[in-house]
Amino acid sequence: MSAKSSLLAAAAAFAITIVAAPVLADNGPSDAEIAHIAYTAGALDVTAAKQALAKSHNAEVRSFAEVMVRDHDAVNDQALALVKKLGVTPADNATSQALSKQASATHDRLAKLDGAAFDRAYAQNEAAYHQAVNGALKTTLIPSADNGELKSLLETGLTLFGEHQQHAEQLAKKL
């Protein structure tokens, strides 16, 4: 499978995971579920970045991974502060679980790779993952959010994920 088609396949898998999960049916997820999904999406990307920092020797890959850890930790800190302020308890749901399951499979797949093969797979997966989360933010999470502050934080998240996606695509092209 070519790099491009494996990237597309990964993006499609994520898209199906996010869109098809039952929690998104009918009226869309509640704010408590949205908060959980958004937090989970960020935390999973931090975990993926830590795997890259443990395995990769490529300076650009490491620098990208450091940015992922810092940015997603920053936005998740804000998310935690917001749910505390609003008195909302993030609610686990099928979408969060599907994301975690998929990320765990990716983690295991990447664990078997080393060197340039790992770097390429990590960067491609990052591009696909951010693209899929962007899609979910745009089509489901942001439109379904009732609280204005949560919606605004998700919009910042969308801008962040959008930039990360471009960054990952550029990185993947170079590797």
Q: Where does this chain touch other proteins (CB under 8 A) — which range of 13-21, 34-42, 66-74, 140-148?
A: 66-74
Number of neighbouring beta carbons within 10 Å of residue 39: 18
Q: Does residue 137 interact with other proteins by CB under 8 A?
A: no
Q: Which of 11, 37, 49, 75 binds other proteins (CB under 8 A)?
A: 75
Query: Cα separation of 158 and 132, whole Å?
Result: 11
Residues 26-65: x where in contact with other proteins by CB under 8 A, - otherwise, as a string: ----------------------------------------
> Given candidates 109, 115, 159, 173, which one binds other proteins under the rule CB under 8 A?
159
Count of Cβ atoms closer than 10 Å to residue 158 Cβ: 17
CA atoms in the 13 A half-sphere facing the CB of 134: 17
What stretch of H or E contains 121?
helix 115-136
* Residues 140/85, Cβ–Cβ less than 8 Å: no
How many residues of this chain interact with other proteins, rule: CB under 8 A? 16
Residue type, 139: T
Piece in contact with other proteins (CB under 8 A), picked from 29-37, 51-59, 121-129, 160-168 = 160-168
- Site residues, other proteins (CB under 8 A): 67, 70-71, 74-75, 77-78, 155-156, 159-160, 162-163, 166-167, 170
